Structure 1
Amino acid sequence: MKARTVDAIWTGILYAISFLVVVLLGFFIVTIILRGWGFWDPQFLFGNPSNTQAGGGIGPQLFNSLYMLVLTLLISVPLGLGAGIYLAEYAKQGKLLSFIRLCIEAMASLPSIVVGLFGLLVFVTLTGWGYTLIGGALAITILNLPGLTRVCENAILDVPYSVKEASLGLGATRWQTLVRVVLPAALPQIITGVILAAGRIFGEAAALIYTAGLTTPFLNASADLSSKLNPFNMFRPAETLTVHIWKLNSEGIVPDAKLIAAKSAAILIVMVLLFNIAARLISVLLQRYFTGSKGRKKRNANKIAV
């Protein structure tokens, strides 16, 4: 009876903590959206982007944030997934593996401002690129790589070994087992890691101040790709939305800086929520595709019809 009572008490405590987390998150989201109400106004999104006039015009910063997200994920996801596969499937226990794990833990504890200063030294000064999108993407990759590597490694290790043995027993090679069996089974956890990495990309400011810069040139889609006016040029300065919010709150040179910052924060929250929802939907669709659940449902429906 005592054990049941203790179990019930701790279960209630855990439920209460979970409920508190949900309430805090809901309060946080609602507060930011209410303070930035009207953020969907086209004039605010695509109006005058000048930092010396009221009204907002955060279209360039919004595009920079999305472009930074795509560019960083294209770099960090293959690296993190590859490192996770190596640590989970190919690395042998020993001093080398212990040293690699030590390096990963050390990288995970690096403050973003330190990574930003490293990016300023290497990706801005040493390379001669100046403030660029690619420099910011590489700096955030350094921040995201440890966490993404550990998530991918744990996701692969959580796949039951019996599943791997069954695939190998049917004649599949180790690589075929990894690609066609292990990775599809680990996909939900890997998607979770990608979502966490995307949240870091959306919310990072300190590292980007020193690598991507505080300004954005007047973008012109018809400009040559090598020109810094072309929006898809990776070697141009790019002020992201988080950096823009920090700049507005710290400098306050715009007449309605607080209002623009609040609306920008609301847009940032909505972007993160939409990305999380889209990533989850893609994860579900991919899992159904790899597991063949959709095909089984159709076959069961045909059997019932017959």
Structure 2
Amino acid sequence: MTDMTRSRKMQRSLVYNKLATGAFYGLGALVLLLILWLLFTILGKGLPGLTLDFLMKLPEDMDAGGGIGPVLFNSFYILFLSLVISIPIGVGAGIYMAEYAPQNKFTEVLRICVESLSSVPSIVFGMLGLAIFAEYFQIGLTILGGAVSLAFLNLPMLARVTEEAVRAVPNDVKNASYALGMTKFQCIRTVVLPMALQGIITGICLVAGRAFGESAVILLTAGLSTSGEMWDFNLFSPGETLAVHLWYVQSEAIVEDAAQIADRSAAVLVIIVLLLNLLFRIPLWINNRKLKR
């Protein structure tokens, strides 16, 4: 191969590299603009009319001027209960699959099943929760049923993300900890989990945002109403959430200001999802500071 041919190939590679770089930058800018446009559209309509009275007031079925107090509380309550159930089980299952499970056909089949469950439509889990709590246990549409059904929905994704995060930790680091005399549990607790924390927190952020904005599961398991109280901790009360209330107001409500309530509810939903992501990032910032030290 002559020097001229090599030079032409090198120039062609540099041109392709610049074109690819420009294309990726353009795609990134396009996605960013799309997100900013969505946020501007949703928040621009809802934020001007957003008040503390709207956040604390009870919803109205007939008269204008209703709020979202109980449904907003139910959203946080059900989210908290579902995370309390799903995080220990999902993270534990991911650690088991990555560190303890033997490499055989049964494990591979189990991993495929978990991946398949991650892509199952949420309404299927809603039907499962309806069959278990409303039909089998005869407790009706309740906060408990909605929380457990959301935990079922989030478990496969959380387990799979945790497994991949733990597997991404280099084996050299694990072997070094074993050489220092650590047991397997000590290695996982002091070495593996801190290094895999970013991936695990990312998975928790995904399932938390999905759970807070979920409507199909809640509609089938927690119902389309509240107890009428602002702070109702009873697990057997109906548990309409903000996402379900937004759907109801936008599609079936007959109050005069239904469109305004829907715009404000959508703005609140977006803001809370963004705040949840920031909240779950705090442990990552603390962990990164410890690793830098």
TM-score of the two chains, using structure 1 as the length reference: 0.89
Map 1:204-215 onto structure 2 (within 5 A). Answer: 204-215=214-225
Matched, 1:22 2:32: yes
Shift of 1:48: 4.0
CA displacement at 1:109 relative to structure 2: 2.3
Which of 115, 119, 127 is 1:117 aligned to? 127
User: Is the CA contact 1:107–1:142 (under 8 Å) kept in the aligned structure 2?
Assistant: no
2:108 equivalent in structure 1: 98
Of 196, 204, 207 in structure 2, the residue corresponding to residue 194 of structure 1 is: 204
After TM superposition, give the deviation of residue 39 of structure 1 in Å.
4.6
String of CA shifts for 1:182-224, please: whole Å, max 9, x gaps: 0011101111101100111111101110101100012265xxx
> Structure 2 CA distance, aligned partners of 1:27 and 1:200?
21
Give the aligned partner of residue 267 of structure 1.
268
Whole-Å separation in 1 of the counterparts to 2:230 and 2:203: 35
Equivalent residue number for residue 68 of structure 1: 78
The amino acid across from 1:31 in the alignment is: T
Fraction of identical pairs, as percent: 46
Is residue 2:289 matched to residue 1:288?
yes
Deviation at 1:171, TM superposition (A): 0.6
1:12 equivalent to 2:27? Answer: no
Give 1:289-304 correspondences, 5 Å limit: 289=290, 291=291, 293=292, 296=293
What is the distance in 1 between the residues matched to 2:230 and 2:20?
59
SS of match in other structure, 1:36? helix
Note if contact 2:86-2:155 (Cα within 8 Å) is conserved in structure 1. yes
Distance 1:126 1:158 in 2: 42
Code of the residue aligned with 2:50 in structure 1: it is W
Q: Could you tell me which of 168, 175, 187 is aligned with 1:165? A: 175
Residues 272-297 of structure 1 deviation map (CA, whole Å, 9 limit, x = unaligned): 111111211232113434x3x4xx4x
Instruction: Give the structure 1 partner of residue 213 of structure 2.
Output: 203
Partners of 1:21 and 1:134 lie apart in 2 by: 38
d(CA) in 2 for partners of 1:105 and 1:155?
Answer: 15
Instruction: Specify the code of the residue in structure 2 equivalent to 1:200.
Output: R
How many residue pairs are counted as aligned between the two chains?
A: 283
Equivalent residue, structure 1, for 2:48: 38
Q: 2:164 aligns with which of 154, 161, 168?
A: 154
Distance in 2, matches of 1:286 and 1:52, equals 51
Pair 1:2-2:3 in alignment = no
Distance in 1 between the 2:209 and 2:230 partners? 28
Q: For residue 228 of structure 1, what is the aligned residue in structure 2?
A: none
Q: Report the counterpart of residue 245 of structure 1 in structure 2.
A: 246
Return the offset for 1:8: 1.8
Q: C-alpha distance in 2, partners of 1:37/1:92?
A: 53
Q: TM-score, normalised by structure 2?
A: 0.92
Q: 2 CA distance for matches of 1:23 and 1:75?
A: 37
Which 4+ stretches in 1 moved above 3 angstroms?
none
The separation in 1 between residues aligned to 2:153 and 2:26, in whole angstroms, is 33
Q: Which AA in structure 2 matches 1:262?
A: D
Partners of 2:155 and 2:49 in 1: how far apart?
Answer: 33
- Contact 1:245 1:261 survives alignment (8 Å): yes
